[in-house]
């Protein structure tokens, strides 16, 4: 298969959330800096040519707001996101199962979710020939707004483990100099 025959899977951790008193975990909103980071992630996706054909998003408020900021940058290129209740606090197996149900007409998928399942899914899917630096950076942790980019050589339904090449891991931040 050539590079152009490969599907692209981008697993993104939601942006930084607030911890307001009296709010359930599911209903935690983004922090102001999280909104800026999510927009920066959208700019990175656009600049790298990783515009998704489909977006699967956890139903948690912070994930939905992350998706909104990413899509605001993608503009007219952004597909309508599909919310998936089962992605909230999902383990790696559940995340991979959600990806397995994506139609093969989708060539590029963005999935927005949570730790530890999101990182575990990316590491479980990574083939031995994955980019070493990307694997090490992801294994070291997956900060908020982290993006793991994987190349998928076949059908979404066939993904299970060690069958997608991790080609990049990044944590885009706004160029304002904030760390």
pLDDT digits (tens, 9 = 90+) for 14-51: 999 999 999 999 999 999 999 999 999 999 999 999 99
Domains of the chain by residue range: 6-170
Q: The domain 6-170 is classified under which CATH number: 3.40.50.1820, 3.20.20.70, 3.40.50.720, 3.40.50.1240?
A: 3.40.50.1240
Phi, psi of 175 (to 5 degrees): -80, 15
CA-nearest of 175, 118, 125 to 147 is: 118
**What pTM value is reported for the model?**
0.95
pLDDT digits (tens, 9 = 90+) for 96-126: 999 999 999 999 999 999 999 999 999 999 9
Give the DSSP H or E segment for 8.
Answer: strand 7-13
Neighbours of 81 (CB within 10 A): 19
* Cα-based distances in Å from 121 to 15, 78, 105, 142, 165: 18, 24, 22, 12, 12
């Amino acid at each position: 298969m050539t590079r152009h025959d490969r599907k692209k899977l981008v697993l993104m951790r939601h942006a930084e959330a607030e911890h307001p008193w009296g709010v359930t975990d599911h209903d935690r909103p983004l922090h102001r800096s999280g909104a800026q980071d999510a927009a920066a992630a959208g700019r990175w996706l656009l600049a790298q040519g990783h515009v998704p054909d489909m977006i699967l998003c956890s139903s948690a408020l912070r994930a939905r707001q992350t998706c909104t900021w990413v899509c605001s940058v993608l503009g007219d290129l952004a597909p309508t996101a599909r919310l998936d209740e089962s992605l909230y606090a999902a383990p790696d197996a559940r995340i991979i199962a959600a990806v397995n149900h994506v139609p093969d007409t989708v060539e590029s998928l963005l999935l927005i979710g949570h730790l530890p399942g999101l990182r575990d899914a990316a590491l479980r899917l990574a083939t031995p020939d994955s980019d070493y630096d990307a694997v090490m950076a992801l294994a070291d942790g997956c900060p908020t707004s982290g993006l793991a980019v994987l190349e998928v050589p076949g059908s979404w339904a066939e993904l299970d483990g060690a069958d997608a090449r991790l080609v990049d891991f990044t944590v885009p931040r706004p160029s304002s100099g904030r760390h």
